[in-house]
Structure 1
């Protein structure tokens, strides 16, 4: 499996998205449900936003966490002090676990970066016991991320390369209304439900917003690294202007919506 997510440094990811993943994780857990003594799989754990929230949300017996990126695995392991948690590198489309090994398999902000997302859902279903739960959540890049779209749309207005990057960003797998629900049903999950979850992304100032992008993290950061210095400066200036919106630099807050889906193994 490959991943379409670009990560250079775990701390850069934390500033770009990890801090917001941690805000989304409790809402996702409430939607997915948990039971005392359960064994949970976190697919695509990143730096551990969902993993460590699971550990404090219920009296679970075990939490297995995998991620495709060795950078994330190393960072999550460094944070871990809970003996119930086991973190390893793994492929969402070929999970290194036996059939029926878990009570629930959860994926927080992962499936839209998996080219074979349907195969990942099938693998999550395989490793969950009958009557167990498979659940996932992804950002709505097209219609629910105004703070991110501000950057993406600004870059798209300035060049053809930016427009191509926007098309990739807005139409990743599992992001369209009903798309994840259809995939869950196609993979023979029952009682499939889909909903929206919302958080707010709060920034201290433009530098807080832009720093991980300027360092090459995420889709726009990856695009920025392909440009010459003059073009990077031009885009950064234009995005700063959009962020400030004619007012002095400072704190800004953006609503961010994600699609969440859950199904039961039969």
Structure 2
């Protein structure tokens, strides 16, 4: 599901960059700190840290070698390594961040505890899958209308226990972090036309595209056509995406 960096960029990577900028502005970390980006993917957050946070150093870790290959091509000034926070020593960085990661780890409480072990200041953000990430919500609503079995794959219900402000606050407090705060970040997601909106869902990267790839052509086309009928017929398609951001310190 996460093997193609270019497909990921077309799907949600391009929208994660403006979220990362607002996230760092909200974190308000002084310059000169060492940073660790856990689950760095194609390097969107790592690149933003380099551009906006004045770090002394930045390390990005991710289990996907394919994503890291693309990150190395696109981002200079950072070190990228295959791995996760579990592989790192205590207090290895001043700041530990993660972007769009926590919904895909099997044990969120343990992951946040590892973040807190490795760094002194911990922040993260993830999409509001229940309603705030409009492109995904539109897709799953159409998919469920065409294929009732899509309900089992719908990211809204699946990630509701993580993609929630109160839940995020609880994970951070439970890891022993203090001064915990949660906020919403909303960014525009403007697609040139319907093709720009739909084509990423055919890339197979991420839960919705991976689900679409399993369908017979007839069902996939039916979802596409239903979405086309629900979106503007011509010109740009202007939507928004909301992410929940959380921070805390030791």
Q: Same fold (TM over 0.5)?
A: yes
Unaligned runs of 5+ in 2: none
The answer to whether the 8 Å contact 1:169/1:219 transfers is no
- Residue 248 of structure 2 corresponds to 263
- Residue 70 of structure 2 corresponds to 75
In structure 1, C-alpha distance between the alignment counterparts of 2:129 and 2:29, rounded to whole Å: 28
- Residue 119 of structure 1 corresponds to 110
- Residue 88 of structure 1 corresponds to 81
In structure 2, C-alpha distance between the alignment counterparts of 1:7 and 1:18, rounded to whole Å: 12
Q: How does 1:1-266 map to 2 (within 5 A)?
A: 6-82=1-77, 85-92=78-85, 94=86, 96-128=87-119, 132-166=120-154, 168-172=155-159, 173-244=161-232, 248-265=233-250
In structure 2, C-alpha distance between the alignment counterparts of 1:196 and 1:29, rounded to whole Å: 13
Structure 1 residues 106-161: Cα deviation after superposition (integer angstroms, max 9, x where no partner): 11111111121111111110011xxx310111111102122221111010111222
In structure 2, C-alpha distance between the alignment counterparts of 1:217 and 1:239, rounded to whole Å: 19
The answer to whether the 8 Å contact 2:190/2:238 transfers is yes
Aligned residues: 249
| Alpha-carbon distance, 1:215 to partner | 2.2
Q: TM-score, normalised by structure 1?
A: 0.89
| Alpha-carbon distance, 1:243 to partner | 2.1
Query: Secondary structure at the residue paired with 2:165?
Result: coil
Q: TM-score, normalised by structure 2?
A: 0.95
In structure 1, C-alpha distance between the alignment counterparts of 2:185 and 2:83, rounded to whole Å: 27
In structure 2, C-alpha distance between the alignment counterparts of 1:177 and 1:125, rounded to whole Å: 19
- The two structures, once aligned, show a CA RMSD in angstroms of 1.4
The answer to whether the 8 Å contact 1:157/1:163 transfers is no
In structure 2, C-alpha distance between the alignment counterparts of 1:253 and 1:147, rounded to whole Å: 10
Query: Secondary structure at the residue paired with 2:204?
Result: coil
Structure 1 residues 193-241: Cα deviation after superposition (integer angstroms, max 9, x where no partner): 1111110111000111111111222211111111111111111111221
In structure 2, C-alpha distance between the alignment counterparts of 1:226 and 1:188, rounded to whole Å: 42
